[in-house]
Amino acid sequence: MIVEPRWEHFAHGADIGVRGIGPSKAAAFEQAALALTGVITDPARIGASTSVEVRCAAPDDELLLVDWLNAIIFEMATRKLLFGRFAVHLTDGTLTATAWGEPVDVLRHAPAVEVKGATLTGLSVRRDGPERWVAECVVDV
């Protein structure tokens, strides 16, 4: 059974957990990034007029997830963009990705909160079945 990629949030005190689920580790990372965007606004509201290349490296999958999400947070903050689509490629502890989005439009996007950073709390990247990967952590809002 192929797992349909999806994202979701989970409660964690004053912060919020982001979880990406997909048929591959790369798909789970893409969905975790969408969950990150979903903390701020509905990803479906975001156009794809701008693309940004992202590259991260880490000694393990968990730290790579944190680096990936923090790279997205950095790009959103410094470029004043929101991202609604991601393509991730993973090779030997290195992540290369493209994020597509558009400039923040407060009226249309109605941003709920600002995400400050991905944390090590609740951090997990795991295979959860033959074709199901889960990538999750708590983000500071």
In a domain, 66, yes or no: yes
> How wide is the angle at C-alpha 87 spanned by C-alphas 51 and 71, nearest 5°?
65
In a domain, 29, yes or no: yes
* Position 9 confidence tier, pLDDT thresholds 50, 70, 90: confident
Domain extent at residue 49: 6-140
Which residues have C-beta within 8 Å of that of residue 71, sequence separation ≥ 6?
54, 56
What CATH number does residue 39 fall under?
3.55.10.10
pLDDT in tens, 42-81: 999 999 999 999 999 999 999 999 999 999 999 999 999 9
pLDDT in tens, 83-109: 999 999 999 999 999 999 999 999 999
pLDDT in tens, 13-24: 778 999 999 999
Into how many domains does the chain fold? 1
In a domain, 1, yes or no: no
